[in-house]
Amino acid sequence: MTDSRPLPTPTELSAPFWDGCRQGVLRVQQCRRCQALVFVPRPMCPTCQHTSLDWTDSGGKGSVYSFTVVHRPPRPAFAVPFVVAIIELDEGWYLLSNVIGCDPDAVHIGMTVEVAFTDMDETITLPLFRPV
């Protein structure tokens, strides 16, 4: 993928997530005390307020929870139409992403998808999703 979309600038908190994407592993935070999965990354567990969270690996498989086909992009860098979706991972956490590799009109709620790591430049890899 060679579009010129704006890319993330990882922070100290989010770097393990983006490093994982580069290495081909989808990671999510997990509370050391109550085991809750936490995304987006936080310094405190929203379930039990524990402040020790570890990074754990996700299987990268899930389904489309909701989606929209975008026809007017936020910036010209995005080629339309494209699909923005909330992915519900099989472990029970949610991630915003794009569904690629199929006709936008074929996307539907409940569609099973898997992560498709996509290199954007020398450092950033995005976790996009494609139909299984």
Partner 1 sequence: MSRADRRTPLHDVAIVGAYNTRQAKALDVSELEVLFDAMEGAVASANLSLADIDGVNVTSSTRRTNSREVVAWLGGRPSWTGVDIGIPGIVEAALAIAAGLCETVLMATAQVREYTDRASTAPWTRPSNEFVECFGLHTPGEFALMARRHMHLYGTPPEALAEVASAIRSNGARNPQAVHFGRPVTPDDVLRSRLIADPFHLLDCAMTSEGGGGLVLTRADRARDLGVTPVHLLGAGSDRQGMAYVTAPVWDLYGQVGARAAATAFAQAGLSPADIDVAELYDPFSFEIIRQLEVFGFCPPGEAADFVLDGQLRIDGSLPIDTDGGLMSFSHAGLVQLIQKPIAAVRQLRGELPDELTVPGAVTAVASNGGSGALFTDVLVLGAEAP
Binding mask 18-57 for Zn ion (x = CB under 5 A): -------------x-xx-x--------x-xx-x-------
- Number of Cβ within a 10 Å radius of residue 12: 8
For partner 1, the binding residue among 16, 25, 36, 69 (CB under 8 A) is 69
The interface with partner 1 within residues 81-110 (CB under 8 A) comprises 82, 84-86, 94-98, 109
Cα distances (Å, whole numbers) of residue 41 to 47, 75, 111? 13, 26, 26
Q: Are 85 and 67 in contact (CB under 8 A)?
A: yes
The amino acid occupying position 49 is Q
End-to-end CA distance of the chain: 20
Q: Are 114 and 130 in contact, with CB atoms under 8 Å apart?
A: yes
Q: Which is nearer to partner 1, 75 or 103 (CB)?
A: 75
Binding residues (CB under 5 A) for Zn ion: these are 31, 33-34, 36, 45, 47-48, 50
Binding residues (CB under 8 A) for partner 1: these are 5-11, 14, 40, 65-76, 78, 82, 84-86, 94-98, 109, 120, 124, 126
